[in-house]
Structure 1
Amino acid sequence: MQRVAALAEVLRARQLDAAIIDAAEHMRYLFGYSASAVMYQCCIVTADGGVHGVVRKLDEAVFESASWVTDHVSYVDWEDPLDLVVSEIRRLGLAGAAIAQEFDSNYLTVRDQRRLAAALPEVRFVDISGIIVEMRVRKSPAEIEEHRRAAAIADVGVGAILDAMREGVSEGELVAAGYAASLAAGADNNAPRIVLLGMGASTQHYHSSVGDGRLEAGQPVHIELLPQSNGYSSRLMRPAVLGAAPEYLQSSVGQLVEIQDRQFAAMRPGVPAKEIDRIGREGLAAAGLREAFPHNTGYGIGIITGPKLADFAHLFTPGSEWELEQGMVFHMYLSAAGIQISETVCVTEDGVDILTSTPRELQIRQLGRSA
C-alpha cells in the first residue's frame, strides 16, 4: 500500500488521473499478485491511491488470497478482458482522463494498446515506462532480507548438487538434486527455473535446457542457482569438477575470483557502474582470459516473474553512466575458459555485502564417492 501511495503521488505530480499496471513483476511488487500471461490481467491505480483489479475468473481465488486489493472484477475465458478493462475505465469516470501505461510491459501488446486507444478516444494515454522500475531499485531492509534468504537457499542448492556429483550421474539427476534441496529450503519460484547446469562443452550454454550428458572425471561442471524467496531472486554460479582438476581450470577460477574481488572492493554508493564494469573487463583482458566480453558484468535483481528472467534496467556495461546507491542488489558475474563465477551482492553505506556464502573457488569432488 505504501508503494501504491508513492505511485499515486507520481501520478498527481504529473497531472495524470490513473495508471494501468499490467507488467507481471509490477503486479507482484505493488499488489502482491503474480499474474499468469495466458490472458490479460491488470490493476487500475487512480490518482487518489485507489486500486481496481481486472482478473481472470480462474485466478480470482489466488488474487483474493495473495493480494491486499479488495476491489476487483473478473471475466470468464470466453469473455474479452480488454472489453472489461474499457468498461471499468468508464465506470470509474476515466473515459476522458489522462491515463498512464507502461509501454515497456511484456504483458501489454501493441494490438491491445491500440484497441484500448480506439475504444477510448477521449482518453490521453501517457507512457510511464521506467517509473516503477526506479521505485524498485533501492531495496528496503525487508526486501534485502528476502534476498538474503534466497541467497541462503542458493547455497543449499549448490551444496546438494556437489554432493550428488559422481561418475555417470546425468545432468537431470544433478538438476533434480538442486531443485529438491532448494524447494525443501523454501524456494518459491514461479519463474525462472531454479537450477541451470551444463557439463563439458555445454558449460558455456548459460540458459540451455537440461541435457542428456553424464558426468566424467575431469569434466568441468557449470552450476547456477536462481532461487526466490517471496519472489525475490538471488543467484550464484560456481564451477565444479569431479576428480583431479586440470591446471588451466584451477588457474582460471583463481584469476576470475581475484578480478571480481577488485570489482567488489570498488563498489560503494556514488561510484559509476561503468567503472565497476571497466575493472572486470580490463582485468579479463590483462589476464589473457578473454579477448572480448560481449555482455554485461552484472545486473540488478529483485522481484522476478515470467516472462522476464532478470531486471536489466541497471546493467554494468562500458556505457553505464548511472551510479550505485545504497540498497541496490546485483548479480555480479564473470566468465572465461568455459567457466563462470558469480555472487549476489547488496550495496551498503560504504561498500557491498556479499549475500551468497559458498566458498569462492573451484569446487572439487573426489572420485569414488558413493551416491
Structure 2
Amino acid sequence: MDTENSVPGRPGLAFTPAEYQQRVSKLRQTMMQQRIDVLLIDEFEHLAYFTGHVPTAAMYQCCLLPLSGDPVMIIRSLDAGMQQEMSWVETCVAYADNEEPLELVAAALRRYRWDRLSLGVEMDSNILLPQRLARLKALLPQTSFVDFSRHMWEQRLYKSPREIDYLRRASEICDSATLAGVRASAIGVNERDVAAAIYSSALRSGADNTRLLLMQSGPRSNILHAPLGQRVLQQGDVVHIEMVPHYRCYTARLMRPVLVGEPEPQALEIAARLIALQDAQFAAMQPGVSAAEIDAILRQQVLTEGLRDSYSNISGYSLGLVCIPRTSDFTRVFLPDSSWTLQAGMVFHMYTSAQGLAFSETILITDRGAERLTQLERRAFIASEEI
C-alpha cells in the first residue's frame, strides 16, 4: 500500500476521520433541508467520498446515514477486510454471498426503528437499479421514500486541500507517463508497445487503476474513445495519448498528440492554433464567469477558422473522485447553453481536438483564476525526439 499520502496511524484511510465527518455534517444539513431522516447511500463514488469504503460491484452494498448517530454499513463479507482498512465507519453488517443484501438493509432499518421515517434514496444512482428500488419498497411498506438526487454530486464539486493534493499527484502521473509514450513512439513500433511503456510508467509512479489510458494511432487518431489496436506506427501517423490515471480514486486527465516521422507543417500549425485558443479559454476561467462564456471562447473560434466542420461535444467537464461503473463526472459540463458559473475549488478536464490532434489539461479554479495541474509542455510532440 502507498503510505506516502496516508493518514498517520490509519494508512488505509484516504482522508482523516475529521474530514469525512465534516463531509457528513454538511450532507446532514442538506438532509434536514430536504426533510430526510435517513439517507441510503449506494453510489460507489458517494460511498468512497463519505465513508472511505470502495465496494466491489458484484453484490449490493450501501451505507445508512441517519440525521444523528452513527452510520451503518451493509457490505459483502468478502469486502469486510477492505472496509475495515479504508473506512472510518465502525458499525457494519457483513453478509454472506447466499444472503439477500436488500433484506438486510430492510432489517437494519427496522432494528434501528428507522423504517417508519423518511428514507432518502439516490434516484440518479448507477447502483440502485429499478428492480432493487421496487424490492426495497416491498420490504418497507411503512417507509416514506424521498428522491435525493443531485445533492451529493453537487457537494463533491468543491475540493478540499487534500483532494487537490491527490489530483496534483494524478496530474504528475499524466505528465510522466505521456512522456514515456512519446519516447516509445517510432516508425516500426507496434502501438501496444507504446501503451506498455505508458502503463509501466504510470503504475510505477503510483497509479492505482488498470484502465489508465486511451490511445489510438494513424487513421483512428481522431476517434478519441476507440479501443487500442495492433497498428505498427508509420511515417505521418498521429498517436493520440489520453491519460486517465487514478490516485487514491482521484483522476486527472491529459491529452497530447505524437507525430511520427517528419511532421507536416500544416499539422504543427493546427496544433499551435488549438493550443492558443485553449490558452485563451484558460485565461478567462475566473470564479463567477459563466461556463457558456468559457465554452464559446474555444468553440466559436474553432468553427470560424474551419478547424472543424461541426462541434457537437462538450469542451470540458468535472474532475475529482471517480469509481466504477463511471469513468467521467458530468456534474458540470461546458456547452453553449451551460447556465452555471465557475467557483473556486472546482476542477475540470478541459479538452479540444481537430483533424486528429487533441489537447487537454486538468484545471483547478482558484480565487486568482485557472491553475493548470497537469504541467507537461503544451505542444504536439514528435516521436523519437530528445526530451
1:227 is aligned to: 245
1:146 is aligned to: 166
1:266 is aligned to: 284
1:328 is aligned to: 346
Per the TM alignment, residue 4 of structure 1 is displaced from its structure 2 partner at its CA by 1.2
**Equivalent residues in 2 for 1:145-184 (5 A)?**
145-184=165-204
Unaligned regions of 5+ residues in structure 1, if any?
none
**Is this contact kept in 2: 1:188–1:227, CA < 8 A?**
yes
2:369 is aligned to: 351
Residue 4 to residue 157, structure 1, CA distance change in 2 (3 Å):
same
Deviations 1:44-99 (A, max 9, x none): 00001521000011111111111111101111111111111111111111111101
**Is this contact kept in 2: 1:203–1:220, CA < 8 A?**
yes
1:132 is aligned to: 152
SS of residue in 2 equivalent to 1:356:
coil
Per the TM alignment, residue 366 of structure 1 is displaced from its structure 2 partner at its CA by 3.8
Structure 1 CA distance for aligned equivalents of residues 111 and 163 of structure 2:
36
**Is this contact kept in 2: 1:345–1:353, CA < 8 A?**
yes
Structure 1 CA distance for aligned equivalents of residues 358 and 141 of structure 2:
52
Structure 2 CA distance for aligned equivalents of residues 237 and 217 of structure 1:
21
2:70 to 14, 25, 50: 50
**Is this contact kept in 2: 1:98–1:123, CA < 8 A?**
yes
- Alignment identity in percent? 39
1:4 is aligned to: 24
SS of residue in 2 equivalent to 1:126:
strand
**Is this contact kept in 1: 2:219–2:237, CA < 8 A?**
no
Structure 2 CA distance for aligned equivalents of residues 247 and 89 of structure 1:
67
Per the TM alignment, residue 118 of structure 1 is displaced from its structure 2 partner at its CA by 1.4
Deviations 1:253-286 (A, max 9, x none): 1111011011011110000101111111111012
Structure 1 CA distance for aligned equivalents of residues 124 and 366 of structure 2:
30
Counterpart code for 1:358: L
Structure 2 CA distance for aligned equivalents of residues 49 and 279 of structure 1:
49
Counterpart code for 1:280: L
**Is this contact kept in 2: 1:8–1:49, CA < 8 A?**
no
SS of residue in 1 equivalent to 2:74:
strand
1:103 is aligned to: 123
SS of residue in 2 equivalent to 1:181:
helix
2:106 is aligned to: 86
Counterpart code for 2:144: R
SS of residue in 1 equivalent to 2:359:
strand
**Is this contact kept in 1: 2:184–2:194, CA < 8 A?**
yes
Structure 1 CA distance for aligned equivalents of residues 100 and 195 of structure 2:
40
**Equivalent residues in 2 for 1:8-19 (5 A)?**
8-19=28-39
Structure 1 CA distance for aligned equivalents of residues 106 and 282 of structure 2:
49
Counterpart code for 1:77: D
Unaligned regions of 5+ residues in structure 2, if any?
1-20
2:216 is aligned to: 198
1:245 is aligned to: 263
Structure 2 CA distance for aligned equivalents of residues 86 and 207 of structure 1:
41
Tell me which stretches of 4 or more aligned residues in structure 1 moved more than 4 Å. Answer: none
**Is this contact kept in 1: 2:362–2:373, CA < 8 A?**
yes
2:12 is aligned to: none
Deviations 1:96-147 (A, max 9, x none): 1101011000011001001111111111111111111111111111111111
**Equivalent residues in 2 for 1:296-335 (5 A)?**
296-335=314-353
Per the TM alignment, residue 302 of structure 1 is displaced from its structure 2 partner at its CA by 0.4
Equivalent residues, number = 366
TM-score under structure 2 length normalisation: 0.92
